[in-house]
């Protein structure tokens, strides 16, 4: 995909990493941990974050200009997910990846 800017490719990579991190941590960390890790609001936010990241990456990959809208929303959802994971605790990988994705998506949305 030679027509894609390095910034867009970087954002796609961050979105896919965040998708993998949120979905993976929800499945292999939160579910087994139980308690506050599976509180409905937190768990749904993790699922929403994973899906928003996947969708943002998808729209960038197919080359639609509407990716700016999904990237803006993705940044907001990622920030909310990072805050929730921080409050739950013991989720540093998710917090770090959500913040990195949010930063990258904000740049793409500008």
Query: What is the C-alpha separation between 99 and 110, in angstroms, rounded?
Result: 17
Quick one: which H or E segment has residue 67? helix 67-88
What's the pLDDT score for residue 4? 87
Beta carbons of 78 and 99 less than 8 angstroms apart: yes
Q: What share of the chain is helix, strand, coil (3-state, %, to 5)?
A: 85, 0, 15
Q: What is the pLDDT of residues 39-94, one digit of tens each?
A: 999 999 999 999 999 999 999 999 999 999 999 999 999 999 999 999 999 999 99
Average pLDDT over residues 10-20: 98
What's the pLDDT score for residue 3? 77
Cα dist from 46 to 9, 18, 41, 49, 59, whole Å: 23, 10, 9, 5, 20
What's the pLDDT score for residue 1? 43
What's the pLDDT score for residue 85? 98
Query: What is the C-alpha separation between 107 and 102, in angstroms, rounded?
Result: 9
For the chain, how far is it from start to end, CA to CA, in angstroms?
22
Spans of all domains in the chain: 6-109
Question: For the domain with range 6-109, which CATH number is right: 3.40.50.1110, 1.20.58.1910, 2.60.120.1440, 1.20.1270.360?
Answer: 1.20.1270.360
Beta carbons of 66 and 59 less than 8 angstroms apart: yes
């Amino acid at each position: 995909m030679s027509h894609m800017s390095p910034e867009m490719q970087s954002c796609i990579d961050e979105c896919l990493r965040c998708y993998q991190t949120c979905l993976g941590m929800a499945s292999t960390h939160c579910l087994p941990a139980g308690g506050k890790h599976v509180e409905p609001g937190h768990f749904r936010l993790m699922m929403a974050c994973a899906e928003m990241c996947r969708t943002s990456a998808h729209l960038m990959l197919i080359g639609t200009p509407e990716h700016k809208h999904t990237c803006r929303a993705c940044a907001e959802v990622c920030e909310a997910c990072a805050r929730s994971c921080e409050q739950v605790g013991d989720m540093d990988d998710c917090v770090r990846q959500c913040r990195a994705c949010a930063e990258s998506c904000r740049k793409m949305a500008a």
